[in-house]
Amino acid sequence: MITYRATLDVPRELVCHLCLLLSAERRRRGTRSHSRALTCFEQAVTGLRWFRDRTDRAALGRDHGVSRATAYRYIDEFINVVADQAPDLHQALRRAVDEGLTHLILDGTIIATDRCAEKIIGVKGEPIDLWHSGKARRHGGNIQALSAPCGLPLWVSDVEPGSVHDLTVARTHVLGALYKAAADGLPILADSGYDGAGIGILAPIKHPSDGRSLALDTRNALLRALRCLGKRGFTLLTQRRRTLQRITASPSRIGDIVKAALVLTHFEHGYLK
């Protein structure tokens, strides 16, 4: 057995903030003092290690002197507590308007997960894998996000199976509120996958099928130049929180995990209220 020292590259202020959240949750549950195997600080470090380095939960339990089952339970509690702090859609839009943002960027991605054998009947009447994305060519969950013009993610949706199209997920979780925001002077930029989303959702105009040149190609170039920063939002989430690069938990937990990652990102960028 070889031991070594390691450093967790997160601000200590973040750990202290998470300690307060975990302590409040224990008081809400009526947990007695000194009845837990880990302190709030140790639980916060365990959760951050799992998010930051995608450390195996069994290894986390071994490092902190608890069983594998206890490590799983503590990390699940950490996810729930942190995810509860994520802003809902109306809060995110209201804050964007109050801060005078010129526009928001709507984008979606597939968060990879382990294979799930859950078959359904597709629109063509053939059996398909519910959690497999034909566009991304992998299993995962579809997450929609709204980002600020600088690329900072402001809001993320609940998860939908990877086989569901971005536009369908957006209609379920976000488009209704975006119409009101657009009417209030906050346009939404999106890629061509959201073509036909509705008034206020600005997507590139597709080239004519007959081969004619597009007169508004300059508009498309400007739209793409502004919208490309939206990719930074998912990059901030998935590269800083490596556990999002491939989630081994139940796919239904992807939404909560991404929301927790959003809260951690907001704190590190000074955006958390």
Query: In this predicted structure, what is the pLDDT of residue 211?
Result: 62
Query: In this predicted structure, what is the pLDDT of residue 213?
Result: 61
Predicted confidence (pLDDT) at residue 233 exceeds the cutoff of 60: yes
Domain boundaries in the chain?
12-83, 89-251
Query: In this predicted structure, what is the pLDDT of residue 188?
Result: 92
Model confidence pLDDT, tens digit, residues 203-231:
887 766 666 665 555 677 777 778 888 78
Please state the three-class secondary structure of the chain as a single string.
CCCCCCCCCCCHHHHHHHHHHHHHHHHHHCCCCCCCCCCHHHHHHHHHHHHHHCCCHHHHHHHCCCCHHHHHHHHHHHHHHHHCCCCCHHHHHHHHHHCCCCCEEEEEEEEEECCCCCEEECCCCCEEECCEECCCCEEEEEEEEEECCCCCEEEECCCEECCCCHHHHHHHHCHHHHHHHHHCCCCEECCHHHCCCCCCEECCCCCCCCCCCCCCHHHHHHHHHHHCCHHHHHHHHHHHCHHHHCECCCHHHHHHHHHHHHHHHHHHCCCCC
Query: In this predicted structure, what is the pLDDT of residue 44?
Result: 96
Query: In this predicted structure, what is the pLDDT of residue 90?
Result: 95
Please report which confidence band the pLDDT of residue 136 belongs to, taking 50, 70 and 90 as the band edges: confident
Query: In this predicted structure, what is the pLDDT of residue 200?
Result: 85
Predicted confidence (pLDDT) at residue 197 exceeds the cutoff of 60: yes
Predicted confidence (pLDDT) at residue 143 exceeds the cutoff of 60: yes
Predicted confidence (pLDDT) at residue 170 exceeds the cutoff of 60: yes
Predicted confidence (pLDDT) at residue 105 exceeds the cutoff of 70: yes
- Over range 16-26, report the average pLDDT: 95
- Over range 61-74, report the average pLDDT: 93
- Over range 52-75, report the average pLDDT: 92
Query: In this predicted structure, what is the pLDDT of residue 208?
Result: 63
pTM across the whole model? 0.91
Query: In this predicted structure, what is the pLDDT of residue 12?
Result: 93
